[in-house]
Amino acid sequence: MTPDDAARPRPHDGHRAVVGEAFTPAEEAAMRAALAAAQRGVRGANPVVGAALIDAAGTPLHVGHHRGAGTDHAEVDVLRQARAAGTPLGDTTLLVTLEPCHHTGRTGPCSAAILAAGIPRVVFAVPDATDTARGGGAHLAAHGVDVRHGLLADPARDLNDRWFLAQRRRRPFVTLKLAQSLDGRAAAADGTSQWITGAPARAEGHALRARADAILVGGGTLRADDPSLTARDAHGTPVESQPLRAVMSTGPVPEQARVRRGVAAGQSAARPGASGDDGRFAHLPTHDPAEALQTLRELGAAHVLVEGGPTVSAAFLAADLVDELWLYQAPLLLGEGSASVAPLGIGTLTDASRWRSDPVGLPEGERPVAGLGEDVRWHLRPAPRETVSPYRGLHAATFDRTVTGTPAPQDLTTPDPAPHDPGPSHADLPGAAQHCAAPPRPASAVAQQPYAHPCAPRGA
Ligand SMILES: NC(=O)c1ccc[n+]([C@@H]2O[C@H](COP(=O)([O-])OP(=O)(O)OC[C@H]3O[C@@H](n4cnc5c(N)ncnc54)[C@H](OP(=O)(O)O)[C@@H]3O)[C@@H](O)[C@H]2O)c1
């Protein structure tokens, strides 16, 4: 074992050290139930979060979860159930996989809802270090709630590892959708690709669109397919909340292109800086995926769905800018035509881009790899960084040179900066220092203390 290995946090060390000291077995069981419930949410603009309520004897009362941006947070889902069932809350403990939020976004602050409900003890797994939502734990503690954290922190961090990463990098969460033949092709030799997959897979694709803030394709897809990039329900009717439609191309987007036109039924507001007849089209004249994401973030997108084609998909993959992957494989062979992903600059198997099954966001009882009509659907997320080659950065650079002809901006001798991504922490958020000078404490020490957020004003 190298000194580096010894210093690297090992999974579960944290919670083993604290269970039995700071937390009861009933609290651990409830947090496990909350973690399982969180998986019933969907990935995107918000993290997946679960919550559970137990009474003073440790009896499980209610379990809830967050169903995606704009819906109740997990804590509020549990409180709603408790209210409906008439559950007395005066001697209960609420367990949450992420620190309760302290801001008003599309929904109100969970910290206020918990205080109003009169819950005396809150245990959360990991802090919410985002600029907008942080501070819920400190607010509750300042108002007399017994607040602890650190229980099952490792699995909770792992559950949302890519969402935390996107937050730290201040970019939207990115979902990639690929549809391909058995032999991994996205289009036939003549460029036709509609439709490779069957109706159930296409319906699921529309559901993905409906929960994204923006859909992005490259100039090749624009030229080959003239897509409209609208979100429709199972009957083909446009859904009310329409995503932004984005094309990443240094070429022109013709005035008559469908992507410039919104849907008549769409209720979504125009975005300042966007164009198109509904003010929800964005032409991104760049080949740099990070720049494209930055522009979309400025247009208000927190969740971007990349729908290809192969060149653009490869650019996002090579830059490690894909957080979630839905891959649909249809039972047909093409023999020729574009591969669904353009070259990634991977020359040998050990450098492969590796993925793991993701059970989050699937219909009840479905597995991450499952039949969907005649097709097979995979739901995947990037494998943890320690299983990925330290030369991963090289792929982006190689790709950049081979595909775009632009010299790589990064230093190729610099290894991947985060062999083990520790999840959210105050210290590594840009701008954290000016808010918070307190050094992070080890998880076991933190977990045994009543929680006081280091940024909280004294006595607030
Ligand atoms: N099966 C599927 O699900 C699916 C999905 C989408 C597309 N397709 C098929 O894919 C085919 C098109 O493939 P494609 O690879 O040309 O499509 P693409 O990835 O949509 O577009 C590539 C184009 O995007 C621009 N671009 C943006 N970022 C780039 C980067 N980092 N490097 C280089 N170029 C970049 C360039 O256009 P500019 O020169 O204009 O800048 C480039 O020619 C079509 O046949 C389409 O039907 C299939």
Q: Which of 2-11, 57-66, 299-308 has the lowest mean pLDDT?
A: 2-11
Name the region of 58 (left: φ>0; alpha: ψ -120 to 50; beta: rest): left
Q: Is 364 a catalytic residue?
A: no
Pocket test for ligand 1, best of 283, 287, 334, 377 (most atoms within 8 A of CB): 287
Question: For ligand 1, is residue 218 a contact (CB within 6 Å)?
Answer: yes
What's residue 107's pLDDT?
A: 65
Dump pLDDT digits (tens) for 74-98.
999 999 999 999 999 999 999 999 9
- Asked if residues 8 and 419 have their Cβ atoms less than 8 Å apart, the reply is yes
| CA-wise closest residue to 179 among 49, 309, 28 | 309
Indicate the pLDDT class of residue 2, thresholds 50, 70 and 90.
Answer: very low
Question: For ligand 1, is residue 112 a contact (CB within 6 Å)?
Answer: no
Dump pLDDT digits (tens) for 365-421.
899 999 999 999 999 999 986 544 444 443 333 323 222 333 333 322 223 344 334
Q: Whose CA is nearest to atom 14 of ligand 1?
A: 220
Q: Name every residue whose Cβ is closer than 8 Å to that of residue 271 and which is 6 or more positions away in sequence.
A: 244, 279, 280, 282, 299, 300
- Asked if residues 291 and 285 have their Cβ atoms less than 8 Å apart, the reply is no
| CA-wise closest residue to 438 among 460, 423, 418, 458 | 458
Report which DSSP code applies to 118: T
Question: For ligand 1, is residue 404 a contact (CB within 6 Å)?
Answer: yes
Say how far apart CA 410 and CA 391 lie, in whole Å. 12
For the residues 215-237, what does the mean pLDDT come to? 93
Q: Whose CA is nearest to atom 35 of ligand 1?
A: 287
Task: Please classify residue 252 by burial: count the beta carbons closer than 10 Å to its beta carbon, then call 0-12 exposed, 13-18 middle and 19+ buried.
Answer: exposed
Q: Name every residue whose Cβ is closer than 8 Å to that of residue 78 and which is 6 or more positions away in sequence.
A: 51, 52, 53, 62, 63, 64, 94
Indicate the pLDDT class of residue 106, thresholds 50, 70 and 90.
Answer: low
Say how far apart CA 222 and CA 178 lie, in whole Å. 16
Using DSSP, state whether 111 is helix, strand or coil: helix
- Asked if residues 334 and 204 have their Cβ atoms less than 8 Å apart, the reply is no
The phi and psi torsions of 19 (rounded to 5 degrees) equal: -65, 135
What's residue 5's pLDDT?
A: 38
**How much distance in Å is there from the Cα of 274 to the middle of ligand 1?**
21
